[in-house]
Structure 1
Amino acid sequence: MNRVIVGVDGSDGSRAALRWAASEAERWGAPLVAVWAWEFSPLIVATNAPTEIEELSQAVAQRLRETLVEELGEDGADRVEAHVVEGTPVRALLDQAGADDLIVVGSRGYGGFKGALLGSVSQQVVHYAPCPVTVVRAAGR
């Protein structure tokens, strides 16, 4: 395995995926790559959120760093190759991946019968990835 690539968005599912991916990367001695994708939305302009692309990207990078530290600790976060990408999560993950990588994503799940269904990002990644994909469910789901 070349690298373990994990999609992160701050959700419980992505945090579970991050923890699982970190463990798997350590097990295989592979680098861990965390990808947080964001898209510019006209709704942002209607709020007090920063509207400059660079400001938005920096804000997302800060959230990614905070998430890495919260889930992996300071030392663990320092070992992660972090990528903040403007674009869709699916495209961001697929663009990072090669045939010898592993992609790890979370699944939001719903419980009951619907709990068996994948979220839209995980479903698309599973279908189009050039490499193996693991979908991790958050605890209690």
Structure 2
Amino acid sequence: MTSTQGSESATGLNAVVGVDGSENSRAALNWALHHVAGHGGGSVRAVMSWTYAPVAAAGYGFGGSLPPAESMEEATKGALDALLETVTAPEGVEVVPVVREGAPSHVVLDEGEGADLIVLGKRGHGGFLGLLIGSVATQVANHASCPVVIVPAHHD
């Protein structure tokens, strides 16, 4: 395998996990940690994104105010840190927290470029749209350049 197809040969298995703090995303993170450990180790990037909800952004034009990007970033980092405290990385697996602004599917796909594997929970905090098997999981599965694993909530 060449380095452009993934990083398994150079640094072990490289997995990207899209997380949102839900039980499903925690199960996906646990699954990825143990999968990478079972394949000789490597890294797991736990990716959490933030974006202004369309309703909040629309309200901005009507006298409402959006929180500063720094506040959104800090809140997301806090949520990711809280999630990471609930899991234990096996020996030989490095967990790399990643917080980025953007739509979850776009951020996960971008982070997944060059990864060996993308792992997602079956459904997250997607509300009504998430009822359609998880809109993020569907978009990522349809557009990823590497294998995608979708983990059910109680699979850790």
Q: For the superposition of Structure 1 and Structure 2, which TM-score range results when normalised by the shorter chain?
A: 0.7 to 0.9
Secondary structure at the aligned position of 1:40 is classed as coil
Q: Structure 2 counterpart of 1:15, which letter? A: R
The equivalent residue for 1:133 is 148
From 33, 39, 43, the equivalent of 2:56 is 43
- How many Å separate the matches in 1 of 2:115 and 2:78? 29
1:90-109 alignment, distance < 5 Å:
90-108=105-123
Structure ranking higher in helix proportion: 1
**TM-score relative to the length of structure 2:** 0.72
Instruction: Provide Cα deviations, 1:86-112, integer angstroms capped at 9, x if missing partner.
Output: 101111011011355200000129xxx
Aligned length: 129
**TM-score relative to the length of structure 1:** 0.79
Q: Structure 2 counterpart of 1:133, which letter? A: V
The equivalent residue for 1:70 is 86
Tell me the percent identity.
37
Instruction: Provide Cα deviations, 1:32-82, integer angstroms capped at 9, x if missing partner.
Output: 100001111353889xxx811011101110110110111227x88x93111
Where do 5+ consecutive residues of structure 2 fail to align? 1-7, 61-65, 125-131
Q: Structure 1 counterpart of 2:52, which letter? A: F
Where do 5+ consecutive residues of structure 1 fail to align? 110-116
Across the aligned residues of Structure 1 and Structure 2, the Cα RMSD in angstroms comes to 2.8
Poorly superposed stretches of 4+, deviation over 4 Å: none
Bigger radius of gyration:
2
Indicate yes or no: 2:44 matched with 1:32: yes
